[in-house]
């Protein structure tokens, strides 16, 4: 088991190197630092000195990959690639354009993101699976049909509309909760309740329909027929046998997303003014702060790979036949 | 070859017509790709006509009432999108005093056939917001009255409801009367269309009009004509309403700079369709080629391809798109001379967006194809082909490709609606289509800020929502039917 984890972790290294090379290529090779400086400072009427000053401030005034002027190991260390990309492996994210430490900001903003993402994930999962089980229970009846149609309608609505509609209806017309904002401690509850509910509702459509197909695939298998032949009531068959056996396909899709909860939800956080990592990312994209975007890309891929590893481990928990070697 | 004479003649006529009309045809990158896609689909349909086993699942799709109705809606969207994909620049009149042979200049404004058809909507700009069917502006303005005094009133619109002398008393009646006329005309047109169609069907099936009509009403005429006719009727009624009311008023109101919202919604259709279709068109060759190669050759090819797609899929999609679009933005900002018009610049960005979306979304399909190919290559018929010395290329194209096509098809139709929805979110994040391009995402984005106003400016938001919802819903329902018909695992039930 431990050997497996270590091996899988080592396997992550080439992938992370690949991610790093790709982002390096996107940010520094496709457009040279000079281009970025011109973009940041306004394209026209920009002097060469201003560009140099901007590059100095950002630490972009070094050669990209190979510094011929330096000596020894510095030939490779004293470069943009080493400064900006290799240092990510040490989780040293550098500073943002406004001089703040990115690593510190990420630590601070992680908590509001989790406060929002974890309830949405847990309650959402329970609600969608329950809904899907109900549809599977009433399969091939009008209840099932109506449920599927409802799911298709729910998933055809843009996430933006759930948020805008919810804010308008609940906050503006009914004045039940504040439209947006955030506060630490217990008072966070009143700010979080609406985004959590909206997050759950917007996930119901696609999620339930997907779980329903998984359950229906499982329902047609032989062991289900055996269970019914034994005289077990449909309720027991569905909730004990089918649900347990459907865990593998469900886990495949679900566990991988757990670490990514850290990244927060981009649009929900930004609409509701929650100071999490999602709104951090959006603000960085809008302000074209490449340092933050780079850090978030790296963090995101680390978490994704962690998710893949967790998925494999979770199989051993739900299915004793799976052995990792 | 003789079967295609008509097609060739039609193309030649279009070419001649375009050459004669005093415009300069502008072929944007996305236009070219769209017509390539249409061409490929046409060839595919012609090829399929002679193959009953390929036609059978499509027949199953179209026999489902919901899928048939969705197809009608999708066709309407596609027609609007195609009309909006023929771009040209109008020829400017030569200045007087310039001798013949001087260089011909063209307007910098790139128009499309749709723009031409909706000219009254496009050109009748108001000052700012106005509600749907309003005769007055949304906000009060200080105006100088005839007697010299000034007052703060809601000024009349420049175009909406100008035919009324006293909007307060006449508007309701006028709208009711126009809607009623539109309703009657629409019903009339619909009845005529349905009658003509039924006559044609009756001829084809070789029995009388009344018998055919009875069969259709009972839903036994082969295709679900009831739902098809119903959807067509709803479309015709909407068009009639838009014609009758849209001429005299702004049917869906106007936006901040006075653009007609109906026009904006119609223009957005092309953007949505381009993102939904071209993205898959761009990603498809990679996904199919790499997926099949990984599964078929295994060994180091498999390792390399798996490494590529794991790396790509490990980057959060939105961030990869953001990184790439930011790079494109920098490139466009630094090379403004490359683009003759704003539309061409926006179009290039749209194309890049499609490419990036394609790169982020091909990995799932690639993984599926790899798994399926791994299974297929162990089948007896492929082993037999290998034993007979058939080349790898032939085995892949003759035996494997046709047997994974259903996976490709299902992925394409399932992706479409997700991509249309993604456009809105990306535009909100600021890495979507160019801000100058009309799209549902941009409409929502600009309308979002006005929700805080009192009274609320709701119409652009609702219009964008309805147009988008209808397209995505139709696409979802249609793709459901396609999946049920093509996926051997999900039997009907």
In chain A, whose CA is at the least distance from the CA of B311? A15
B100 and chain A: CB distance < 8 Å anywhere?
no
In chain A, whose CA is at the least distance from the CA of B447? A164
In chain A, whose CA is at the least distance from the CA of B307? A15
Rounded to a whole number of angstroms, the distance from the CA of A43 to the nearest CA of chain B is: 7
Residues of B in contact with A18 (CB under 8 A): 307, 311
**Whole-angstrom Cα distance, residue A88 to residue A79?**
14
Residues of B in contact with A35 (CB under 8 A): 330-331, 334
- Higher pLDDT: B233 or B158? It is B233
Q: Give the pLDDT confidence score for residue B2 in this predicted structure.
A: 61
ipTM for the assembly = 0.85
Interface test with B, best of A285, A296, A302, A303 (most B CBs within 10 A): A285
Q: Which helix (H) or strand (E) holds B112?
A: strand B106-112
Contact B319 A293 (CB under 8 A): yes
Rounded to a whole number of angstroms, the distance from the CA of B106 to the nearest CA of chain A is: 27
Average pLDDT of B68-96?
A: 85
**Whole-angstrom Cα distance, residue B167 to residue B157?**
11
> What sections of B155-224 are H helices per DSSP?
167-205, 209-218
Which of A6-20, A30-44, A116-130, A140-154 shows the lowest per-residue confidence on average (mean pLDDT)? A30-44
- Residue B47 CB contacts under 8 Å (≥ 6 apart), including other chains: none
- Residue B207 CB contacts under 8 Å (≥ 6 apart), including other chains: none
Contact B429 A217 (CB under 8 A): no
**Whole-angstrom Cα distance, residue A313 to residue B458?**
49
**Whole-angstrom Cα distance, residue B110 to residue B27?**
10
Interface test with B, best of A12, A156, A221, A273 (most B CBs within 10 A): A156
- List B residues 255-274 in contact with A (Cβ-Cβ < 8 A): none
Q: Is the pLDDT of residue B491 over 50?
A: no
Q: Tell me if B361 sits within 8 A of B279, measured CB to CB.
A: yes
DSSP B44-61: HHHHHHT-HHHHHHHHHH
Instruction: Label residue A44 by pLDDT band (50, 70, 90).
Output: low
* 3-state secondary structure string across chain A: CHHHHHHHHHHHHHHHHHHHHHHHHHHHHCCCHHHHHHHHHCCCCCCHHHHHHHHHHHCCCCCCCCCCCCCCCHHHHCCHHHHHHHHHHHCCCCECCCCCEHHHHHHHHHHHHHHHHHHHHHHHHHHHHHHHHHHHHCCCCHHHHHHHHHHHHHHCCCHHHHHHHHHHHHHHHCCCCCCCCCCCHHHHHHHHHHHHHHHHHHHHHHHHHHHHHHHHHHHCCHHHHHHHHCCCCHHHHHHHHHHHHCHHHHHHHHHHHCHHHHHCCHHHHHHHCCCCHHHHHHHHHHHCCHHHHHHHHHHHHHHHHHHHHHHHHHHHHHCCCCCCC
Contact B326 A172 (CB under 8 A): no
Q: Tell me if A38 sits within 8 A of A103, measured CB to CB.
A: no
Structure tokens at A61: 């005034």
Q: Characterise A42 by phi-psi region: left (phi > 0), alpha (psi -120 to 50), beta (else).
A: left
Structure tokens at A15: 């992938």
In chain A, whose CA is at the least distance from the CA of B474? A156
CB nearest A152 (choices: B327, B465, B473) = B473
Q: What is the mean pLDDT of chain A?
A: 83
Q: Is the pLDDT of residue B482 over 70?
A: yes
Taking Cα atoms as reference points, which of B208, B193, B458, B422 lies closest to residue B325? B422
Interface test with A, best of B65, B307, B321, B322 (most A CBs within 10 A): B322
**Whole-angstrom Cα distance, residue A15 to residue A203?**
30
Sheet holding B87-91, edge to edge: B23-26, B87-91, B106-112
**Count of alpha carbons within 13 Å of B52, Cβ hemisphere only?**
0
**Whole-angstrom Cα distance, residue A43 to residue B330?**
9
Rounded to a whole number of angstroms, the distance from the CA of A301 to the nearest CA of chain B is: 5
Residues of A in contact with B461 (CB under 8 A): 164
Q: Is the pLDDT of residue B128 over 70?
A: yes
Contact A26 B323 (CB under 8 A): yes
Average pLDDT of A18-33?
A: 79
Per-residue pLDDT tens for B139-154? 777 777 777 777 787 8
Q: Is the pLDDT of residue B493 over 50?
A: no
What's this model's pTM, rounded to 2 decimal places?
0.88
User: Which residues does residue B156 pair with via DSSP β-bridges, in sequence order?
Assistant: B136
Interface test with A, best of B64, B309, B314 (most A CBs within 10 A): B314
Instruction: Label residue A77 by pLDDT band (50, 70, 90).
Output: low
Instruction: Label residue B17 by pLDDT band (50, 70, 90).
Output: confident
Residues of B in contact with A263 (CB under 8 A): 316
Rounding to the nearest 10 degrees, give the CA dihedral for residues B439, B445, B450, B451. 110
Q: Give the pLDDT confidence score for residue A9 in this predicted structure.
A: 84
**Whole-angstrom Cα distance, residue A171 to residue A177?**
5
In chain A, whose CA is at the least distance from the CA of B441? A160
Q: Is A300 exposed, middle or buried (0-12, 13-18, 19+ CB in 10 A)?
A: buried
Q: Tell me if B339 sits within 8 A of B348, measured CB to CB.
A: yes
Structure tokens at A271: 């609409």
Taking Cα atoms as reference points, which of B385, B368, B482 lies closest to residue B62? B482
Q: What is the mean pLDDT of chain B?
A: 84
Q: Tell me if A307 sits within 8 A of A260, measured CB to CB.
A: yes
CB nearest A305 (choices: B314, B330, B431) = B314
Domains along chain A with CATH numbers: 2-90 (no CATH), 106-318 (1.10.3720.10)
CB nearest B334 (choices: A38, A153, A286) = A38
B473 and chain A: CB distance < 8 Å anywhere?
yes
| A188-202, B182-196, B402-416 — most confident range | B182-196
Rounded to a whole number of angstroms, the distance from the CA of A34 to the nearest CA of chain B is: 10
Q: Is the pLDDT of residue B178 over 50?
A: yes
Q: Give the pLDDT confidence score for residue B434 in this predicted structure.
A: 85
**Whole-angstrom Cα distance, residue B32 to residue B10?**
18
Residues of A in contact with B490 (CB under 8 A): 213, 216-217
Cα angle: B34, vertex B31, B251; to 5 degrees: 95
Rounded to a whole number of angstroms, the distance from the CA of A71 to the nearest CA of chain B is: 32
Contact A167 B465 (CB under 8 A): no
B466 and chain A: CB distance < 8 Å anywhere?
no
Q: Is the pLDDT of residue A188 over 60?
A: yes
Q: Tell me if A212 sits within 8 A of A148, measured CB to CB.
A: yes
User: What angle, 0 to 180 degrees and rounded to 10, lies between the N-to-C axes of helices A48-58 and A33-41?
Assistant: 110
Residues of B in contact with A281 (CB under 8 A): 318-319, 322
Contact A158 B465 (CB under 8 A): yes
Q: How many residues does this entry show for chain B? A: 493
Instruction: Label residue B272 by pLDDT band (50, 70, 90).
Output: very high
Taking Cα atoms as reference points, which of A200, A115, A131, A206 lies closest to residue A166? A200
Interface test with A, best of B65, B67, B304, B326 (most A CBs within 10 A): B326
**Whole-angstrom Cα distance, residue B263 to residue B123?**
10
Q: Is the pLDDT of residue B273 over 90?
A: yes
Size of interface A-B (CB pairs under 8 A): 132
Contact B319 A161 (CB under 8 A): no
Contact A300 B311 (CB under 8 A): no
Contact A301 B316 (CB under 8 A): yes
Contact B480 A156 (CB under 8 A): no
Q: Is the pLDDT of residue B70 over 90?
A: yes
Domains along chain B with CATH numbers: 21-87+257-486 (1.10.3720.10), 127-248 (no CATH)
Rounded to a whole number of angstroms, the distance from the CA of A123 to the nearest CA of chain B is: 23
CB nearest A160 (choices: B324, B425, B490) = B425
Per-residue pLDDT tens for B380-439? 988 899 899 899 899 998 889 888 888 888 888 888 988 999 888 888 888 888 888 889
Instruction: Label residue A325 by pLDDT band (50, 70, 90).
Output: low
In a 3-state reduction of DSSP, which class is residue B144?
strand
Contact B323 A23 (CB under 8 A): yes
Task: Provide the percentage of residues in chain A whose pLDDT is more than 70.
Answer: 90
| A111-120, B96-105, B122-131 — most confident range | A111-120
Residues of A in contact with B329 (CB under 8 A): 39, 288
In chain B, whose CA is at the least distance from the CA of A139? B493
Q: Give the pLDDT confidence score for residue B489 in this predicted structure.
A: 64
**Count of alpha carbons within 13 Å of B36, Cβ hemisphere only?**
12
Which of A55-59, B281-285, B336-340 shows the lowest per-residue confidence on average (mean pLDDT)? A55-59
Taking Cα atoms as reference points, which of B317, B308, B312 lies closest to residue B415? B317
């Amino acid at each position: 088991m431990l050997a497996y984890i270590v091996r899988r972790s080592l396997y992550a290294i080439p992938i992370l190197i690949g991610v790093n090379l790709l982002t390096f290529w996107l940010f520094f090779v496709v457009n040279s630092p000079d281009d970025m400086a011109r973009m940041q400072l306004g394209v026209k009427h920009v002097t060469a000195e201003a560009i140099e000053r901007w590059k100095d401030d950002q630490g972009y005034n070094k050669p990209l990959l190979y510094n011929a002027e330096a000596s020894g190991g510095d030939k490779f260390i004293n470069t943009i690639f080493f400064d900006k990309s290799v240092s990510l492996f040490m989780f040293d994210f550098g500073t943002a354009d406004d001089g703040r430490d990115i690593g510190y900001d990420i630590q601070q903003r992680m908590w509001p993101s989790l406060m929002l993402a974890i309830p949405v994930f847990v309650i959402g999962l329970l609600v969608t699976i329950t809904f899907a089980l109900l549809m599977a229970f009433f399969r091939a009846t009008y209840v099932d049909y109506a449920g599927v149609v409802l799911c298709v309608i729910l998933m055809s609505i843009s996430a933006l509309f759930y948020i805008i509609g919810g804010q308008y209806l609940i906050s503006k017309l009914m004045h039940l909760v504040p439209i947006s904002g955030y506060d630490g401690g217990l008072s966070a509850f009143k700010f979080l309740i609406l985004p959590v509910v909206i997050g759950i509702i917007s996930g119901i459509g696609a999620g339930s329909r997907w779980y329903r197909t998984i359950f229906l695939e499982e329902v047609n298998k032989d062991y289900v027929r055996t269970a019914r032949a034994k005289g077990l009531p449909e309720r027991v068959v569905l909730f004990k046998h089918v649900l347990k056996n459907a865990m593998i396909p469900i886990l495949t899709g679900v566990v991988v997303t757990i670490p990514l909860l850290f990244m927060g939800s981009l649009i929900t956080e930004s609409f509701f003014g929650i100071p999490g990592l999602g709104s951090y990312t959006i603000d960085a994209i809008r302000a074209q702060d490449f340092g933050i975007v780079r850090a978030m890309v790296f963090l995101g891929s680390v978490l994704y790979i962690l998710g893949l590893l967790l998925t494999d481990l979770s199989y051993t928990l739900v299915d004793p036949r799976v052995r990792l070697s | 070859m003789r079967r295609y004479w008509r097609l060739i003649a039609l193309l030649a006529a279009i070419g001649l017509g375009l050459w004669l009309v005093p415009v300069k045809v502008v072929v944007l990158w996305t236009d070219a790709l769209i017509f390539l896609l249409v061409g490929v689909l046409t060839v595919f349909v012609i090829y399929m006509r002679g193959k009953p086993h390929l036609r059978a699942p499509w027949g199953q799709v179209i026999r489902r009432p919901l899928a048939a109705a969705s197809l009608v809606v999708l066709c309407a969207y596609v027609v609007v999108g195609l009309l909006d994909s023929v771009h040209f620049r109008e020829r400017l009149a030569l200045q007087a005093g310039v001798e013949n042979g001087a260089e011909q200049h063209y307007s910098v404004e790139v128009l499309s056939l749709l723009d031409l058809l909706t000219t009254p909507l496009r050109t009748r700009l108001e000052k700012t917001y106005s509600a749907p069917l309003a005769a007055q502006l949304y906000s009060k303005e200080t105006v100088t009255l005839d007697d010299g005094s000034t007052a703060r009133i809601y000024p009349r619109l420049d175009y909406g409801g100008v035919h009324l002398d006293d909007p307060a008393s006449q508007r309701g009646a006028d709208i009711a009367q126009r809607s009623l006329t539109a309703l009657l005309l629409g019903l009339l047109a619909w009845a005529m269309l349905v009658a003509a169609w039924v006559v044609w069907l009756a001829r084809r099936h070789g029995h009388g009009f009344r018998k055919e009509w009875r069969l259709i009403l009972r839903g036994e005429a082969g295709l679900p004509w009831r739902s098809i006719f119903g959807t067509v009727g709803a479309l015709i009624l909407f068009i009639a309403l838009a014609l009758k009311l849209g001429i005299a008023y702004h049917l869906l109101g106007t936006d901040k700079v006075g653009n007609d919202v109906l026009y904006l919604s119609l223009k957005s259709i092309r953007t949505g369709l381009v993102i939904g279709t071209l993205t898959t068109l761009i990603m498809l060759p990679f996904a199919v080629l790499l997926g099949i190669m990984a599964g078929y050759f295994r060994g180091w090819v498999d390792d390399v391809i798996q490494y590529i797609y794991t790396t790509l899929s490990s980057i959060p999609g939105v961030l990869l798109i953001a990184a790439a679009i930011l790079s494109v933005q920098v490139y466009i900002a630094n090379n403004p001379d490359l683009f003759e018009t704003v539309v061409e610049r926006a179009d290039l960005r749209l194309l890049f967006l499609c490419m990036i979306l394609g790169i982020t979304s091909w990995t799932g399909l690639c993984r599926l194809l790899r798994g399926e190919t791994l299974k297929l290559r162990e089948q007896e018929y492929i082993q037999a082909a290998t034993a007979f010395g058939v080349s790898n290329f032939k085995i892949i194209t003759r035996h494997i490709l046709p047997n994974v096509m259903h996976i490709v098809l299902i992925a394409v139709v399932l992706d479409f609606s997700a991509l249309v929805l993604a456009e809105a979110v990306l535009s909100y994040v600021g890495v979507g289509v160019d801000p100058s391009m009309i799209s549902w995402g941009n409409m929502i984005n600009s309308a979002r800020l006005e929700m805080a106003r009192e009274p609320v400016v709701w119409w652009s938001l609702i219009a964008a929502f309805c147009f988008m919802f209808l397209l995505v819903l139709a696409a979802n329902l249609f793709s459901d039917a396609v999946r049920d018909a093509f996926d051997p695992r999900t039997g009907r039930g």
